[in-house]
Structure 1
Amino acid sequence: MRLKSIIKCLILLLLFVIFLEGCDNNTKNETASTSDVKEDSHVQALHEDEPGWKLDTSPVTFDWYVNFSWFETDWGNNVVSDYITDKTGVRVNFITPTGNENEKMNTMIASGSLPDFITIGWWEDGAKKMIDQELVLPLDELGKEYDPYFYKVTDDSKLEWYRQEDGHVYGYPNASSSPEDFERYKDLKPSNQTFLVRKDMYEALGRPDMRTPEGFLDALKKAKEQFPEVNGKPLIPLGLHEFTPVGNDSLEDYLQNFLAIPMKEDGKVYDRITDPEYIRWLKTFREVNEMGLLAKDIFIDKRAQMEEKIAEGRYFAMLYQRSDMAAQQQALYAKDPDSVYIAVDGPANSNLEAPTLPADGISGWTITLISKDVKDPERAIRFLSYLISEEGQKDTFLGKRGVTWETRNGKEQFLPEVLSLLKSDRMTFDQKYGAASTYWMLVDTNKTLEWAPLPAPPLKQLADWTKGKTVNLSEFEGIDPTGTTKEGIAANKIAEEWGRTLPMLLLAESEEVFDRLFQSFLQKRESYDFTIVREYRQNSYEENNRKLND
């Protein structure tokens, strides 16, 4: 009996062990099954058609450096930024330089530590330094690992344009148009480059023709004589972009484009600075100074001082970027519609040909990069993808439905009171609503055409004047060497020499002194090894053509 009892106990024990093992295996299988479901769900969520940002909308704050001292709009306390934060969980702490942008950028690069996001002009040396020194992450790799949606919302041609020698893409542009985009939108998209005159003064002078050196000088002279003061302050006959250590935009590309100076001749990149038409007009600007019509303000004023003077209507004429004075233009219009600036035909070549003005090229205006020090690379690339996407473009442009926009007559458009503020007071609009590309870092100016209202009356004429005069100059973008290569060092020396020479040319006591100064610059340019710069530019131009035509 005892033996039988022992055997029964052993059998029961064995059955119990088998039962436990079965339960354990079931638990493991259930766990494995759950894990597989999660993994399958994760893979599905990271599909190219699914926005990755929706997977995690918990609060996160990114530091975003914008390399423009004039950008002053904070994130938060306006409709657009609050709406985006509520939707995505992302807050942004914008950082901007308080002084010289290049110095700030170089200091950050030297430290080896950068904020989470960086927005910088694509042409700036700092962009190349960050990439060369491996301070930023490849966006293509981040997209593959964390957000395939990145590849759905980005433009392949723009990715290829910005692909580096190592095969990776580190920056994505705003305000960029591929050649196909340019052809599609060229009749709708104006150039920013304009020659402006104050409407009431110009009309009082009989709307003079300012296309020739003689007409240009005569109009400035008569404006100074007839309107010596504006509200008790001296009239500034001519306004230009600010002088920098490497020159002045108004007196370089702007002037050359107004003169329709070619970018190439016989397949070779043309040395526009030596063009006879350009030299003829630089000498005209020297005469402007000789006649006492070139105010000393223009050599020292920065953008903030210029904006103040534009708002006061103190310039008679300006060779200037219309978007840089939009807020001041609206302020003038609110005070007196006749005191605004209008775009007119400005300096022209001897044949009085129409200008060849650039619109958005494939390089765009700025590029945005993600730092290697980014606190959360997964959320960062997903937020970048969101901003690039049509949804992000719509959110940053229109804002929140029912608060800033509605659908009327089948079109998504700003509410009347929002549109009214946009057209009357851009600064207050930015602070209250933050819409209409207030946050322009990744704006796609082709997509936003769908929602953009007609420009306010004082801005519309400026834009309309440039239409039909735009050309695509994408193949010439980014051909100048930068950085610490021998070509980059040579190009930088030449640029700084030009920055020193240009004001001296305008202030030259005579045409003979002008000629000596200009020849001296050309000689120094050769001594700084201009030959290798010229070769680099030609090779880059040819490589650009290959990229654009592949």
Structure 2
Amino acid sequence: MKKLFKAFVCLSLAGFMTASVSACGDRPGGRENLDYNQYSTDYDPNVNSWEQIDPDDEDLEITWFTNYTFYGSKIVDLIRERTGVNVKFQSAMTTDNTELNTMIAGDMLPDVITIGDLRTRVQLAEEGYCYAIDRLAESYAPSMLKRISPEHKRYYSGSDGYMYGLASNFYNDDDIAEYENDIGGHQFMNYDVIVRKDYLNAFIAYKKAQDPDFDEDAYITRPAGFIEMAKWVKSNYGLKNSNPTVCLSPFNLTATNDCFNYSLSALMEFFCVPQEDADGNYLYQYDTEEFVEVMEFLNDLYNANLITSGNFSYTRDNISTNLLNGYPFAYIGASQQHAAQLGVREKKGHDDKTGETDDEHTYVSIVLTNSAGDAPLLCDYAGRGLYVTMITKNCKRVDRVIKVMDYLISEQGQREAYYGKNEGEYYTYKVKPGETDPETGKVSTYGRMEWTPKAAEALRANNVSALYDMGITRTTMLTNIMYTRMTSPDKYAINWLQTWIEFKNKCTYFDYAFSRVPMRYPLDTSDQKGLNEYSEIQSDIEAVWIEAYPQMIMASDKKAMKEIYDRALARTYEKGAEKWLAFRNKCFKEYKQELGISYAWPKADPEYVAPEVTLFGGASKYMIDVPEYISWAE
């Protein structure tokens, strides 16, 4: 265990040392040296930019680096056909930013990059490593400007007011309003807690045999009850020490959107670690009693041998394999990352004659609370982006590449990637874009689709790779999740078994959700020096907690855990946490004022009424049947 932890810390420190070196390296010349008029700028803003590419212009090959694993081969043919640009996707092999930092330090950035780290993004934008997206669009793709929402531009603007990145999973305000208010859809939550249904039911039966009045809603949902249940399951079913009884998400060495471990972020939401106080001020969540309770819970799980030391080195694939085989009793994190494996497992236990799936092969989501039993408050998906795509100063033909971006974010690009190139082959319009939807009585921005019998047959085969080969259900770094849901027949884009599994695990929490939008406030970019200082402090704070997190979990007892916590907290204040918090609070309060709201975190609002806490939340209320075109066949 000591060797494992030592390796973890060394890797973490090495990643941040590398980032610091690259951040202090020579600037490439600054923004003033980037040329936005080196090619013809004679384009009609009323015509799609990619349709104005000179047919005599040569085909182009570019490299697109993603700082995470992305299987982009299924989309390159569509991009090439529409824009004449052949994209070679290159994904990072590690999670510590090593490859990206090496590229920056050696001035070897490829044409396009997609990253998640705030400090790196700010550095690249402010120091002239990347082009401004909207300035390129003004010159070479004016049709793109109307497709970028004001909030998207503002959120990813630099100190000069120009936009330096396009975000994945960016939820535009108009789309959110139409989806939630007109269509009646519910946003998913990022995090969940899932448990094996057979073990859960056995424990409930055991407790009711002891006490017929046993209340699973009041007992299992609290930390002590959850831990007792996990201990009982491990003991009675002989779960091995080599596999975690309670499985945690990968321990990343860098953070994306404040998160370096989904399990920690999940528990902070389930345990209602406050994000805002009664006076409307943004809070430093790590400096709260509620955060300490989260760490005590994880420490208790570890010292009860329910979390294993091996879990600290798990990759996403390791977790998927464990869930596929049903090894863990529980998983805390983001189960949508493992929905394919959960679907395969459920198929193995499905009886086509009865239409039922046995409990042994089923994981179900449950509600977990803090020791006080407070209803959890879970941020929905509707945020301001996950990963950010940037066009670097080394890009060979920015005039062509910006047209690729224009195509990918356009309605046509979204539709052709997801539904296929030709209307009538795999999809038909039930409602055309701009028409009034008879079911809602409102104008539909993107329209509503229906799969053709040919597509339904393909979807029934449950072969996602084959669907990609057919040219449907494909995603890109710029996929608009709202588009796929707003246009889908069922509001949730449930197209094959794993998407139904995701819905099943998320609908439990619909009553506990709140909007992520106010918590993803835009940063004040007017002061370049202040913005750089803020991003540096944030990275330093994250480095402290990334190092301390596994130490706290593996501490010998709660007292030792608290000592580690106190030291880490003090170090973050030494790194500038007070100044960091003041900057965030300023941006946070200004954004709330723009939105016309007093509170962003519901529990801070004195008028907040907590929903009832039940073990399965709203699952019975919101569950929908598996669509008929989804097959349970192996």
Q: Specify the TM-score bucket, using the shorter chain as the normaliser.
A: 0.7 to 0.9
Q: Larger % of helix: which?
A: 1
List per-residue Cα deviations over 1:175-204 (Å, max 9, x = no partner): 112445434434432122111112233233
Cα distance in 2 for partners of 1:497, 1:476 equals 23
Q: Structure 1 residues 480 and 294, CA, compared in 2 at 3 Å: closer, same or farther?
A: farther
Q: Structure 1 residues 480 and 502, CA, compared in 2 at 3 Å: closer, same or farther?
A: farther
List per-residue Cα deviations over 1:76-122 (Å, max 9, x = no partner): xxxx543443333232110111224511111111122322221122x
1:493 aligns with 2:540: yes
Matched residue SS, 1:53: helix
1:262 aligns with 2:283: no
Q: Which residue of 2 aligns with 1:356?
A: 378
Cα distance in 2 for partners of 1:196, 1:62 equals 41
Q: Structure 1 residues 502 and 83, CA, compared in 2 at 3 Å: closer, same or farther?
A: closer
Matched residue SS, 2:204: coil
Give how far 1:484 is off: 9.5
Is the 8 Å Cα contact of residues 458 and 467 (structure 2) preserved in structure 1?
Answer: no
1:157 aligns with 2:151: yes
Is the 8 Å Cα contact of residues 135 and 372 (structure 1) preserved in structure 2?
Answer: yes
Is the 8 Å Cα contact of residues 479 and 537 (structure 1) preserved in structure 2?
Answer: no
Q: Which residue of 2 aligns with 1:407?
A: 428
Cα distance in 2 for partners of 1:134, 1:342 equals 48
Q: Which residue of 2 aligns with 1:340?
A: 362
1:236 aligns with 2:250: no
Cα distance in 2 for partners of 1:322, 1:541 equals 30
| TM score, norm. by length of structure 1 | 0.82
Cα distance in 2 for partners of 1:506, 1:479 equals 33
Cα distance in 2 for partners of 1:284, 1:480 equals 33
Question: Quick one: which amino acid aligns to residue 271 of structure 2?
Answer: L
Matched residue SS, 1:365: coil
Q: Which residue of 1 aligns with 2:64?
A: 64
List per-residue Cα deviations over 1:446-485 (Å, max 9, x = no partner): 1222343435343331132232332223333378999994
Q: Which residue of 2 aligns with 1:32?
A: none
Alignment partner for residue 504 of structure 1, among 548, 551, 556?
551
Cα distance in 1 for partners of 2:577, 2:466 equals 48
Matched residue SS, 1:468: helix
Q: Structure 1 residues 350 and 532, CA, compared in 2 at 3 Å: closer, same or farther?
A: same
Q: Which residue of 2 aligns with 1:118?
A: 113
Q: Structure 1 residues 147 and 72, CA, compared in 2 at 3 Å: closer, same or farther?
A: closer
Q: Which residue of 2 aligns with 1:522?
A: 569
Matched residue SS, 1:407: strand
Cα distance in 2 for partners of 1:306, 1:341 equals 14
Cα distance in 2 for partners of 1:239, 1:275 equals 25
Cα distance in 1 for partners of 2:227, 2:364 equals 19
> Counterparts of 1:266-305 in structure 2 under 5 Å?
266-305=279-318
> Counterparts of 1:28-39 in structure 2 under 5 Å?
none
> Counterparts of 1:373-522 in structure 2 under 5 Å?
373-401=394-422, 405-407=426-428, 412-416=449-453, 418-419=455-456, 422=459, 425=462, 427-429=464-466, 432-433=469-470, 435-436=472-473, 438-452=474-488, 453-454=493-494, 456=497, 457-477=500-520, 485-522=532-569
Question: Quick one: which amino acid aligns to residue 192 of structure 1?
Answer: N
List per-residue Cα deviations over 1:268-320 (Å, max 9, x = no partner): 11122233233223212211122121122211112222222222222211111
1:308 aligns with 2:327: no
195-204 vs 180-189, greater mean Cα deviation: 180-189
Is the 8 Å Cα contact of residues 327 and 426 (structure 1) preserved in structure 2?
Answer: no
Give how far 1:388 is off: 0.6
> Counterparts of 1:45-56 in structure 2 under 5 Å?
46-56=43-53
Matched residue SS, 1:401: coil
List per-residue Cα deviations over 1:205-245 (Å, max 9, x = no partner): 33855321111111111221233248xx9552111111133
Q: Which residue of 2 aligns with 1:11?
A: none
Q: Structure 1 vs Structure 2: percent identity of aligned residues?
A: 20
1:319 aligns with 2:356: no
Paired positions, count: 498
Q: Structure 1 residues 459 and 522, CA, compared in 2 at 3 Å: closer, same or farther?
A: closer
Give how far 1:421 is off: 5.3
98-107 vs 136-145, greater mean Cα deviation: 98-107
Cα distance in 2 for partners of 1:454, 1:378 equals 37
Cα distance in 1 for partners of 2:72, 2:362 equals 25
Q: Structure 1 residues 546 and 237, CA, compared in 2 at 3 Å: closer, same or farther?
A: same
Is the 8 Å Cα contact of residues 340 and 458 (structure 1) preserved in structure 2?
Answer: no
Give how far 1:389 is off: 0.7
Q: Structure 1 residues 476 and 460, CA, compared in 2 at 3 Å: closer, same or farther?
A: closer
Q: Which residue of 1 aligns with 2:617?
A: none
Give how far 1:549 is off: 6.2
Cα distance in 1 for partners of 2:121, 2:242 equals 41
Q: Which residue of 2 aligns with 1:74?
A: 73
Q: Which residue of 2 aligns with 1:199?
A: 197
List per-residue Cα deviations over 1:373-394 (Å, max 9, x = no partner): 2221111111111111100010
Q: Which residue of 2 aligns with 1:532?
A: 579
Cα distance in 2 for partners of 1:281, 1:160 equals 34
Question: Quick one: which amino acid aligns to residue 300 of structure 1?
Answer: S
Alignment partner for residue 109 of structure 1, among 104, 113, 131?
104
Alignment partner for residue 163 of structure 2, among 152, 169, 176?
169
Matched residue SS, 1:393: helix
Question: Quick one: which amino acid aligns to residue 460 of structure 1?
Answer: F
Is the 8 Å Cα contact of residues 65 and 110 (structure 2) preserved in structure 1?
Answer: yes
Is the 8 Å Cα contact of residues 330 and 425 (structure 1) preserved in structure 2?
Answer: no
Q: Structure 1 residues 493 and 60, CA, compared in 2 at 3 Å: closer, same or farther?
A: closer
Q: Which residue of 1 aligns with 2:212?
A: none
458-467 vs 242-251, greater mean Cα deviation: 242-251
Cα distance in 2 for partners of 1:488, 1:549 equals 27
Cα distance in 2 for partners of 1:197, 1:140 equals 46
Is the 8 Å Cα contact of residues 223 and 368 (structure 2) preserved in structure 1?
Answer: no
Alignment partner for residue 253 of structure 1, among 254, 258, 265?
265
Q: Which residue of 1 aligns with 2:609?
A: none
Question: Quick one: which amino acid aligns to residue 153 of structure 2?
Answer: L
Cα distance in 2 for partners of 1:236, 1:99 equals 23
Q: Structure 1 residues 191 and 279, CA, compared in 2 at 3 Å: closer, same or farther?
A: same
Give how far 1:54 is off: 0.7
Question: Quick one: which amino acid aligns to residue 65 of structure 2?
Answer: Y
Is the 8 Å Cα contact of residues 334 and 424 (structure 1) preserved in structure 2?
Answer: no
Q: Which residue of 2 aligns with 1:29?
A: none
Matched residue SS, 2:63: strand
Cα distance in 1 for partners of 2:97, 2:342 equals 29
Q: Structure 1 residues 203 and 426, CA, compared in 2 at 3 Å: closer, same or farther?
A: farther
Cα distance in 2 for partners of 1:415, 1:252 equals 42
